[in-house]
Every structure is written in C-alpha cells, then in structure tokens.
Amino acid sequence: MSKGLLHHIELYVSDLERTVNFWGWFLEEMGYESFQEWESGKSWRLGGMYIVFVQAKARFLDVPYHRGRVGLNHLAFQASSRQQVDEVTRKLEDRGISVLYADKHPFAGGENHYAVFFEDPDRMKVELVAPCI
C-alpha cells in the first residue's frame, strides 16, 4: 500500500444519468473500469483508486456547483502522450462537448503544458494533460 495516494473521490451530481453518460466513456478511455453501481450512484476504478458519482438529493440542488466557489476547482488526469490528448479532443468534439480556452488550445495551461480542458454536465472543469517534455 502506498501512503498518501488518493483512495477515492466522491462527487455529488445534479443528474446521475447524464453524468454517467458523460463520464463513462472518458474514464474508460483513461483505463478505468466500471466498479460499483446502485440506484443513486456509480463508480469506476483504476488500480486501487476509484471515482464515485452520487445523485444529490433534491433539497441540495438549489445552489448549482461552480468551480469558482470554495471547494473543488477541477480534476486533472494524466494522459499517456500528446497524441492521447489530441484523440480525446477529437472525441469530445464528436460528442458535441466544447473545449474550454479553445483559442489557446492545446497550450491553455502554458507553453509547456499540453492539455485539453472541458466541463462535465455540472460544469466541473476536467483537464487531460500530457507528460511534460
């Protein structure tokens, strides 16, 4: 066991079905496998770490998520290569998912930071970044 590694991330979402449709293909592209599923949630696992999505209760949906508020800003995933960033970018576009910072893509994170940025259905920012050269 590796001390300090993330064990899991659990995210509450506004629409579980929409979230599962959005995240499923991307997580599988990253090597995650479907792990657990129940009426109000679903998870994917990669090695010993897993990501869980849970349907938020209606009484908590009055204030939508915004990454500028206190809390999680975004999730960044490591790509295997720049080619994988390019492939995922094409798949995002094929799915009608907008690339954030399109005018600076794929260097929106800086001149040595090759990545694609996009948002999930609740507008959580997601980043796929290639290894630094």
Tokens of 59: 């009484």
Spatial separation of the C-alpha atoms in residues 16 and 95, rounded to whole Å: 18
Q: Where are the domains positioned within the chain? A: 1-58, 73-133
How far from chain centre, in Å, is Cα 93? 15
Gyration radius from the chain CA atoms: 15
Give pTM, 2 decimals.
0.91
* Cβ-based burial of 2 (10 A; exposed 0-12, middle 13-18, buried ≥19): exposed
Which CATH architecture best describes the domain 1-58? Roll (3.10)
Residues 78, 70 contacting (CB under 8 angstroms): no
Spatial separation of the C-alpha atoms in residues 106 and 89, rounded to whole Å: 9
Spans in the chain with pLDDT lower than 50? none
Residues 127, 67 contacting (CB under 8 angstroms): no
Residues 89, 127 contacting (CB under 8 angstroms): no
Q: What is the DSSP letter of 25?
A: H
The pLDDT, as a whole number, for residue 1 is: 60
Q: Which helix (H) or strand (E) holds 46?
A: strand 41-46
The pLDDT, as a whole number, for residue 123 is: 95
The pLDDT, as a whole number, for residue 108 is: 92
Q: Which CATH topology does 73-133 take? A: 2,3-Dihydroxybiphenyl 1,2-Dioxygenase; domain 1 (3.10.180)
pLDDT in tens, 38-56: 999 999 999 999 999 999 9
The pLDDT, as a whole number, for residue 25 is: 96
The pLDDT, as a whole number, for residue 70 is: 86
